[in-house]
């Protein structure tokens, strides 16, 4: 309310000021143009017209001013929105980034606990591997991309740790040429696929399961393929939260929804990731 009164008073005063300036300027101009000729008469006659013109001039000035202010605000708002959007996307991407399964953490710790009694050397080895594994998940916390070579190393560590847990039940093959090592891929993007293969392939099986990770390239993509035997009898195949996160994350990063494919061929679960080479 106070603001409104303030605004009206301000406008009134500036209108008065503009009016005074305008009237005197107009008077001056008439004086110069028409000189001494009937000075009194046209002046009085023209005054109402001049006041009207003054009001219109003032309104135009005010309008232009408000338009400029509005335009400025609008630009700022758009900028802010873009900033918030970027922040939101980043936050979303971070939550989508592989979340290490608590089952994995506690079961691994339990294996170590058992090994400290039966096989202290392997226990020590596993602690080192687990530490290295967690260090890799922490180090890159804010980076969205990592080198393929690092991600492969990470996958190998994960397999090695799970191998201690599952012993002969798990076999793994990693076929990835070193020449692809420098390619950048989303950090921890393979992890949920590995976890999925362990959970549904290895954990649900009572015989040896081989998990295979392969890297190849096409003209414009790096292709990561994970294959594991899958007992379709023991569980319905669905796309778990882990795989859904991978899909969502790829879509947010590359703006494409066709970068992950999952299919079951002859009791083999095959997950394929295509990473665009930019």
Partner 1 sequence: MIWPTAFGMKKYTVIIVDDETPARDIVKSFLSAHDQFEVINEADNGFDGCVRINKNKPDLVFLDVQMPKLTGIEMLDLLEKPVPFIIFSTAYDQFAVQAFEKNALDYLLKPYNKERFNTAIKKFLSVQKDTGFTDVQSDDLLKGLQKIEEKLNRIPVRSGSKIHILKLNEIHYIEAQDDYIKIYSQKGNFLKQQTMKFMEEHLPAETFVRIHRSYILNINFLNQLEVYERQGYTAITTENQKLPVSRQGAVKLKKAIQME
> Order of strands, edge to edge, in the sheet holding 221-229?
170-175, 209-217, 221-229, 268-276, 260-265
138 makes contact with partner 1 (CB under 8 A): no
121 makes contact with partner 1 (CB under 8 A): no
In the block, tokens 């009001």 appear at: 55
Stretch that binds partner 1, among 16-24, 202-210, 219-227, 244-252 (CB under 8 A): 202-210
Stretch that binds partner 1, among 8-16, 227-235, 251-259, 269-277 (CB under 8 A): 227-235
166 makes contact with partner 1 (CB under 8 A): yes
Q: In Å, how far from its chain's centre is CA 230? A: 33
Residues 91-110 that bind partner 1 (CB under 8 A): 102-103, 105-107, 109-110
Distance (Å, whole) CA 39 – CA 29:
12
Considering only residues 72, 131, 234, 267, which one is a binding residue for partner 1 as defined by CB under 8 A? 234
Going by C-beta distance under 8 Å and a sequence separation of 6 or more, which residues neighbour residue 93?
144, 249, 252, 253
> Minimum CB separation from partner 1 for residue 230, in Å?
12
165 makes contact with partner 1 (CB under 8 A): yes
User: E-assigned strands of the chain?
Assistant: 145-147, 170-175, 184-186, 209-217, 221-229, 260-265, 268-276
| List of residues contacting partner 1 (CB under 8 A) | 102-103, 105-107, 109-115, 117-118, 164-167, 203-206, 233-236
């Amino acid at each position: 309310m106070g603001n409104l009164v303030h605004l009206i008073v301000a406008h009134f005063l500036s209108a008065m000021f503009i009016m005074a300036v305008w009237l005197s300027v107009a008077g001056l101009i008439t004086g110069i143009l028409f000189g001494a000729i009937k000075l009194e008469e046209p002046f009085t006659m023209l005054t109402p017209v001049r006041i009207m013109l003054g009001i219109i001039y003032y309104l135009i000035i005010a309008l232009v001013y408000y338009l400029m202010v509005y335009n400025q605000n609008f630009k700022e708002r758009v900028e802010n929105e873009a900033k918030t959007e970027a922040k939101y996307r980043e936050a979303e991407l971070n939550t989508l980034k592989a979340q290490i399964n608590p089952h994995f953490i506690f079961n691994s710790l339990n294996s170590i606990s058992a090994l400290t009694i039966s096989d202290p050397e392997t226990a020590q080895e596993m602690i080192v591997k687990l530490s290295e594994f967690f260090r890799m998940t922490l180090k890159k916390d804010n980076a969205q991309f990592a080198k393929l070579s690092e991600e492969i190393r990470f996958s190998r560590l994960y397999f090695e740790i799970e191998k201690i847990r599952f012993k002969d039940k798990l076999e793994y093959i990693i076929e990835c040429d070193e020449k692809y090592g420098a390619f950048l891929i989303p950090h921890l993007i393979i992890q949920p696929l590995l976890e999925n293969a362990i959970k549904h392939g290895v954990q649900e099986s009572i015989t040896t399961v081989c998990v295979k990770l392969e890297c190849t390239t096409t003209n414009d993509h790096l292709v990561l393929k994970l294959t594991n035997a899958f007992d379709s009898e023991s569980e319905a195949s669905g796309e778990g939260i882990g795989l859904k996160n991978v899909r969502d994350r790829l879509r947010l990063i590359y703006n494409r929804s066709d970068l992950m494919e999952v299919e079951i061929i002859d009791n083999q679960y095959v997950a394929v990731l295509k990473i665009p080479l930019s």
